[in-house]
Structure 1
Amino acid sequence: PQPLAALRTLSGNTVRFLERGQLDVASTNLKTINELIDRMGRITASLRSFARRGDDQGRASLGKGVDAALQLLGSRMESLPLQLHRDFTDVQVQIDQTRLEQILVNLIGNALDAMQSQPQPTLWLEGEEFDGKYRLRVRDNGHGIDAEARKHLFEPFFTTKPGEQGLGLGLTLSASLAAATGGHLGVEHPASGGTTFVLSLPLVSPTPAEPI
């Protein structure tokens, strides 16, 4: 189960047990809470070390990354009457190809989740060059993100998904992978509704010509 959801339940129950004077049960709950916090700390530390493992000196094709992500999410996309708008250039960016695909699977997957109840789900993938980086916007017309959830989006173990769907680590890891290569992952909340995640990655510089 999600550690954060378990913590919420346990802490709420512990307060009630203390009020009733059931100290043994409260004590057991507190020990479990302590173990969960340790576990969350270990997971977060290992994720951060993975994301920062050396400088990411890879290079990736944005077009191939998008195609691979869409292929991996194919069955989920087929279950929706999805309109897909692609408006970006197949540039070379400074990140390992697999890491780029991980980020895109997460962002596009989140967009698909947000549009499950949307009668006309639409996904926009829009790109532009800006200040030596390439900025890809992944925009959906889903239910959007409420004001309280917006404050915690990139925190480890935070998720808006019901039940046990996901640990709430996808955005945290994606942001770390982008940062490891000098990029950035941000979010915008369009007035028209939906959500836009903005992935900025450094462009691969053309190799300078040898002086004659």
Structure 2
Amino acid sequence: MQINPAPLHMAQAIIMGLSAAMSVAILGTAAHTLDVFNKQQSSNPWWLPLWPQHFDVNGAKALVGSAVTTLVLCSAFLVVALVPYFNLANKHTLRALLALGTTLPSTLVTLVTVIYAHILNHNAPELDSIQTWTCKYKNSQPIEEDISLPKGMGNGNFGSLCRESKFALYGTLVVFLLLSASMGLAIVTWLADKWAARKTRKEMDANGNAISMS
């Protein structure tokens, strides 16, 4: 039975590439929601500037940190695995160790981040996260005397902030699933590489013996 590990290598690279791309999107959305909160919280009345202790933004910070970690580790794997200079195609065990060494920490970080962010979201309404607050008041209307508030002093962007914060959270969950699949694929790919190398050696030995006998 002949096994071709090349499609497995390609699948692994695609999964890591998707994880890196998703991490860029998560980083952008989570960082944007956090930036808007930091700029408006002390002045925009919709953010309760008199009660800054009502908000817990550690979940958003964790999502940013998780995205950065995943992006760096996935990019490192892709560079080393795809650049011919490193020649990992012929170093099966090293490639597998690199794959596990980059995906395992990322998988753990994303899992912990998703759980942590969900816990913080469930603290509402006692403590609100950016997600729970913006999603709660995205459709609320200002009172009559507040209609003429300057730009940036209302809840007009709460709808987009709600969607962005949700995307960052559930996108991180998707990245966790991708990385989990990548870990399993790393082991399968390593076994396939070993099997293919063993078959190649046997065929070479058989051909060598045949030539010697003739």
Q: TM-score range by the shorter chain?
A: under 0.3
Normalising by structure 1, we get a TM-score of: 0.27
Larger radius of gyration: 2
Normalising by structure 2, we get a TM-score of: 0.27
Higher relative contact order (CA 8 A, sep 6+): 2
Instruction: Determine which structure has the larger strand proportion and give its number.
Output: 1
